Structure 1
Amino acid sequence: MVIDTAYHTIFTFDINIYTVCCQSIFQSTRNFFSFFNLSKVLIPSPAMAEHPSFTLAALLAAGGTAGYIKTKSRPSLIAGLGLGVSYALSGYLIKENKDYGTELALGNSVLLLGSAVPRVVKTKARAPVPIGLLVAGALATFYYQKKVREFRFGV
């Protein structure tokens, strides 16, 4: 009986030390992140609605540049870089939780969708680039209209 009680006491003591050590490690890790202001960098925002904007910004800028290099088309370069910069700005506004970020992204998406429809009609849906622009514009429009409704009306 004495051995069993001693074992129980030592085992309970070991578990308590382990619990205290884990709690202190967790607390020191949290203090480390807050001291160096890394909590914003390492802990993502719950919405993360800026990711499609940054992705579309890079793709449109690269596509406009590729269109200019391939066919010397200045409208492709201007439109690609212009919409790319506008999407990047909307992504920044969304990330920083500033006003009108999602609205700007929605406007960009509608503009992308609207510019793709005549190209798809002109090529009779046989060229891959206009179809890609149409799909990207439609998906982005759907996504950002949903986000605008969520942010404005809480729906």
Structure 2
Amino acid sequence: MSVRLLVDADACPVRDEVLRVANRVGLETIFVTNGSRPIRPPGGLARVVVVTEGADKADDWIAEQASPTDVCLTNDIPLAARCIAQGALCLSFKGHPWTEDNIGSALAGRELARHLREIGVAGGPAPMQQADRSRFLNALDAAVQAALRRAKG
């Protein structure tokens, strides 16, 4: 099995960082989009998959493809839960690893945050900072190394 990066591309703020790591290590990288935002072709071992338009179509594609040697990159907590169920490693775009140990509380927190937004008490997530990009790069390097160990397995 080969290691791949599966990227939820419609909301990915770390595309350049993903490509930097993927090119350095020589990994296939798949940016999955529903076409709502244009994505320039990445080149190299990276490609773009455009799924049919519609809610969760890109998520469905990623979750169906995810395997234990893949690293899935997303801020979508339900998608991360689906990928973890397939055995894949998952990271948020700010470098937070999603795991079997923390995905349940993340899903619960997501529901609480949704409810608070609905009643006007809370806003969205904090904007991306340079420290978040650095944390993402470090976490992606660690996840890629873990996936490579799994692939040798």
Larger radius of gyration: 1
Instruction: Point out the structure with the larger strand share.
Output: 2
Using the size of structure 1 for normalisation, the TM-score is 0.27
Using the size of structure 2 for normalisation, the TM-score is 0.27
* More relative contact order, 1 or 2 (CA 8 Å, 6+ apart): 2
Instruction: Point out the structure with the larger helix share.
Output: 1
